[in-house]
Amino acid sequence: MKKLFTLFFVSLTYSATSVAQTPAQNLMPDGSYDMYLGMGMVLRPSYEGATKYKKAALPVMQVQWSNGAFLSGMSAGWHLSEQPQQDFGPLIALEPSRSPSGLSNSIDPPRSLQSNAMGPEYAASKTNNKLIGLDNIQARLLYGGFYHFSLSQNLRQTNVILFGIGNDKNGLRLSSDLRYSVPELPTHHRLTLGVGFNAVNQAYAQSYFGVTEVEANRSQNRSFRPKAGIKDIHLEANWNWSLSSSWLLTSRMQLGHLVGSTSDSPLVERRTSVTVSSALAYRF
């Protein structure tokens, strides 16, 4: 177990932003656990709202213990409900940092399983990197909880709320998704389709989409103060292919669209973005 936690924290240096994931409840014999570890690739915008895309290595990890505790990507939590129709519990997650190079890396869970200030001379630079001159956003440990409930055998509503985002640690994000598990697929395949939104408070919106007067003076951006509200809506597809009892190919595609006040930020070059990832994981 010590080696597992070492791998977890070392892998945090790799990246790709993701909302905290909470695997579904998994009834297991007392004292047992279920673990996936793997590696893949992700293609995503360098930061939310950017035109430029970049590829990065994507470690994947998920561990569940019979007592309800779990590690999933960059989050950890505890299933407290004993009812299969609903699931809730506490959650902590590590939010990646953001510098002029974009968002740092994250660990992704197998899917669908039960700036430093820069001088004013940079403002005159010919670069089109809109993050130059803005304060770096430091990585933060967030805390909150989750509440999921099943509407039917294949339809599930998931909700995650996390607090502590941004350098002032006052940012809050609520993620709500409706997920449908497609039935009658070929053996060893599982496909989950989802639609949802992220709602944020003003502190979160300011951290990621706002530009202060000081930042405006040392960057190419006008000052901007966004409001609280729905930040984005998104569609996603998660596909798992069990190659054997031990090997899993997990892939994900998400189409996101910024809306509301945040979409008017001078940092936003493109409101609509696509994130694609695929990884091979081994079950222990």
The pLDDT of 252-274, averaged and rounded, is 97
The pLDDT of 29-36, averaged and rounded, is 83
pLDDT averaged over every residue in the chain: 87
Residue 242: beta bridge partners?
248
Alpha-carbon span 202 to 140, nearest angstrom: 17
pLDDT of residue 192: 97
Element (H, E) at 38: strand 33-45
Residue 23 DSSP one-character state:
P
Collapsed DSSP state (helix, strand, coil) of residue 276: strand
Looking at residue 250, its amino acid is T
Domain boundaries, the chain: 2-283
pLDDT of residue 175: 98
Phi and psi dihedrals of 77, rounded to 5? -165, -165
User: In the chain, pLDDT over 90 holds for what percent of residues?
Assistant: 76
pLDDT of residue 6: 36
Largest CA distance in the chain: 63
pLDDT of residue 114 exceeding 50: no
The pLDDT of 136-156, averaged and rounded, is 96
Fold classification of 2-283 is Porin (2.40.160)
Q: What is the pLDDT of residues 244-262, one digit of tens each?
A: 999 999 999 999 999 999 9
User: In the chain, pLDDT over 70 holds for what percent of residues?
Assistant: 83
pLDDT-based confidence at residue 21 (cuts at 50, 70, 90) = low
> Exposed, middle or buried by CB within 10 Å (0-12, 13-18, 19+), for 21?
buried
The pLDDT of 218-242, averaged and rounded, is 97
The owner of tokens 């998104």 is 234
Helix %, strand %, coil % for the chain, to 5?
Answer: 10, 50, 40
pLDDT of residue 213 exceeding 90: yes
pLDDT of residue 171 exceeding 70: yes
pLDDT of residue 8 exceeding 60: no
